[in-house]
Chain A
Amino acid sequence: MVHPALLVAPIAAPLLAALLAIAFPRGAVAAALSAVGVALVASLVLVVEVARTGTGAALAIGGWPPPLGIALEADGLSAMFLLAASTIGLGVLVVAQGPFGWTGRETRKGYSFWPLALCLLAALNAIFLSRDFFNFYVGLELLSLSAVALVALDGKREAIEAALRYLMFALVGSLLYLLGAALLYAQYGTLDIGLIAASAETNGPTLVAAGLMTAGLAAKTALFPLHAWLPSAHTGAPAVASAMLSALVPKASFFILVRVWFDALPGQAGPGLTLVLGTMGAVAIVYGSILALLQERLKLIIAYSTVAQLGYLFLVFPLAGGDSTAQPWFAGAWTGGMVHAVSHGLAKAAMFLCAGAMMAAAGGDKLSDVRGIVAKMPLATFAFALAAVTLMGLPPSGGFLAKYLMLTAAFASGAWVWGAVVLAGGLLAALYLYRPLASLFAPADPDRTFTSVPLRTELVPLALALVAVLLGVASQFPYDILQVGRSVAAEAGLE
């Protein structure tokens, strides 16, 4: 059995560090790094344990079993997301020492960044580990509030406006989600996923509840019609923060959505759900790419690229693993979706960190400002290129593996429309990423000088991008972990 501490540590450590950071701002960086380090180690051990034992790990906090108590559980999926979150979190915080580190005197941004970031990470870990809808709600709220605060960190006018709009969307989303939870509780008298799955039956109120929760979560994941808040928020936020915002925050609400439809109510997903989410995802891919193509600022391109790539995730519902029996081997779209979530997180974090480093060096984030920066920052540019390769889904990156799994599922189940969308997404990604790459690699005009940037701001994104590519190369390992504790629906597919 997995030692209970492994499940508690990823949540407790960051929260503890957040409190310490508030109390001793001078030691904030040390506390933060050590806390996330602990979380990373715990998640690593957890992943190894899960892989080795082949079963998830569960812990009823305080000995109170559900439905009364709160249970923490880690199956393959949550272990994988946990590990990704901790890795990206550590990377981001290492880079954050630059702009937000202790500089002799206490500044507003320097002081408030660390607790917010740590709360955000704690919230993420809480969501990934919990099995209870109300627990999800609490995690979701903590996540949203800290994210909104991070967006408004710069204090500039458009940052605050963006934060406010983000808050509005987030509030609507969480309210609808809460309403759905309330109805579910009214229906089944419990909010624990396992118990609901046991006694779920398809009837009106359950569907209404699930619909409400889906709408709420879609708003938080910035699915196409509800994405308007994301670009301005992620551009307003400081680059380091937007790395976490883009890479992790939407994945948490998507994670809950997956739990709702694949684990809690496997039988309920009617054609309505799959087609709606699928079409909105497909439109998100195309729309996000077109917008990314038209942007002039580097951060806006990356933000709209997030909108597009998130569309991929929602293709999991229509594809939903495809009837794996038909495929000669059981590669499911579900696994593809989850691998895409992780590899996109890593690549997007790397890309935003590079963008941050380049903006610091060039003093502006327009494509013309960063032209020819490869001469000065070869490593960062190479990291950016590697991340771009993952986003385009070119082999040997993790993105390719995800795309490949989704494509096989699409072709096997005859739904080649979604396959075409996946491919088009890859091509469009190549289209809108070509301009930034071309201007980065362009010959810099001699009189343009870039200020030097600490080496770590280049090495961390490179490391993250390499992990994203590694995901594609050594993909047997993540593939097996994701299968642990995979629900039937994920395998057989929502009918």
Chain B
Amino acid sequence: MTGGVLPILIVLAALVPALISFALPERHARLRSIVNLSGAVLKLGLVAYLLLAVADGAAPEARLSLAPGLDLLLRVDALALLFVTLSGVLWLITTIYAIAYLGDSPNLSRFFGFFGLCVAATTGIAFSGTLITFFVFYEMLTLSTWPLVVHKQNEKSFAAGRRYLAYALPASAVLLIAIIWLESATGPVEFATGTDLSVLGETSLQMIFWLFIAGLGVKAALFPLHGWLPAAMAAPAPVSALLHAVAVVKAGAFGIIRIIYDVFGIATVSALGLATPLAILASFTILYGSVRALEQSEIKKRLAFSTVSQVSYIILGAALAGPIAAIGGLAHLVHQGLMKIALFFCAGIYAERAGIETVEALDGIGPRMPWTSVAFTLGAMGMIGIPPMAGFVSKFYLGVGAVQTGANWVVVVLATSSLLNAAYFLPLVYRIWFLPAPEDRAAPADGFERPLGLIVPAVIAAGAALAVGLMAGSPLSPLGWATLIVERDYLP
């Protein structure tokens, strides 16, 4: 199979089930589930095949030119694969979870349609070889996520949807300005070939860089632009899992990584004096997200703010000019995905099965829902950065990388953020396991931890986070793959 067709196949593997789901009327629930699951499995198979190919240095690409100088390029490189593997795996378990979670609630065809579109857009973002392709899929992601946020169609989710668009659309306008400003001077920008930025003056380059960061920062929930994320908690649990761990937030962070490494190049970024301010902004977001999370009494809101701070680890890793920090950032892209999706699944199960929405209602649920609570605890431990969970590995690499580049203050930020994470996660774990359960909590008819479709994905995700942390040293782990990326593509 020629390499070129592979990336298109993978994008189609996500797109086709979506289109089929749109067409299927509501009553064909079973057929729709089969279509989506087979799509997900097929995608994973293709990704596995590609992993082997790319590991050997192949970089298949497919080019479709829209207009001279404006061509869509799907190119598979190691960084793209890291993101696609993450989104592929998490899409599979999120689909299982969504099927069980939504059961027979109304207009599911529409839900799975847009769900598939979202993942197709994310895959497109990962494979995009030029800035314009990236922008096209970036926009597709915004559009296909909005209907998911407003899926429940109640006033709260519409308000959340409004807020999401109010942040996302101007951001895309800003991003478009940045792209056009850059491309009008340097010609079409391709990630692989890189661009000579000498054409533009230093100040305009800096302004373009900050426009890029603003445009991508909304999705990556950087400090001033994170407002939409907590509000988007009005969406059903599988959607928040998708938003936080699989697609949207990752797309923002991935975009920033692409901009820093492939468009500007880490040397130019630090030469222009942009690396430190970005690192400071990311660090501030880390601390701000954690402090705000302390105040939230709703579990999902707390997780949302924790995402705001966790994603900035990735950006911090990208901003610090050292290879080890870069590896840490890239690995955290995957680790955060696994841990956060486990937490969201558990939050969804608690809300769905035991009606627990707020932190106070968590008392004593541990013994009654052992599997979910263990998964939640593992996820929480990972977030705090307690070894041997995945969170610790990337945090450790970030710290070491930071000190190597001389940014020692980052270690203080990381330590404080671990403390803050503990401050807003440990009380939850404490309530789950150590406080007596209120008498009036009625277990649903068929027991708390049913159906399995809900519990298994959560446990898998938490287990994967633990396994990835434990086996971090091996080349197969995300850390190993991140090292491969940094050594192969970005070592100065």
Contact = CB atoms under 8 A, between A and B. Distances in A.
The answer to whether A and B interact is: yes
Interface of A: 327-331, 389, 394-396, 400-401, 404-405, 407-408, 411-412, 416, 419, 423, 426-427, 430, 434, 438, 441-443, 472-476, 479
Contacts of B2: none
- Interface size class, chain B: 20 to 34
24 contacts: A327-B69, A327-B184, A328-B188, A331-B67, A331-B68, A331-B70, A394-B172, A396-B136, A396-B140, A401-B66, A401-B67, A404-B70, A404-B180, A412-B184, A423-B173, A434-B162, A438-B158, A438-B162, A441-B153, A474-B66, A475-B66, A475-B70, A476-B65, A476-B66
Contacts of B68: 329-331, 479
B180 A407 contact: yes
B5 to A, nearest CB: 18
A395 B125 CA distance: 13
In the A-B complex, list the 9 residue pairs whose CB atoms are closest, starting with the nearest: A329-B69, A328-B187, A411-B184, A395-B136, A443-B153, A475-B66, A412-B184, A479-B67, A407-B180
A441 B136 contact: no
Chain A interface, >50% SS class = helix
Contacts of B351: none
Nearest to B181: A411
Nearest to B133: A395
B176 A423 contact: yes
B184 A329 contact: no
Interface string B56-70: 000000000111111
Given A330-B68, A427-B170, 10 more contacts: A329-B69, A331-B69, A389-B143, A395-B139, A395-B140, A396-B140, A412-B184, A427-B173, A434-B162, A476-B67
Contacts, number: 81
Interface string B244-281: 00000000000000000000000000000000000000
A101 B362 CA distance: 65
A396 B132 CA distance: 11
B177 interface: yes
Contacts of A430: 165, 169
Given A430-B165, A438-B158, A475 B67 contact: yes
B221 interface: no
B108 interface: no
A395 B184 contact: no
Nearest to A326: B184
B135 interface: yes
B388 interface: no
Contact of B69 (A328, A389, A442): A328
Contact of B143 (A394, A416, A443): A394
Given A404-B180, A441-B147, A394 B67 contact: no
A329 B165 contact: no
A385 to B, nearest CB: 9
A336 to B, nearest CB: 10
B183 interface: yes
A232 B15 CA distance: 42
A383 to B, nearest CB: 13
A474 B67 CA distance: 9
B214 to A, nearest CB: 14
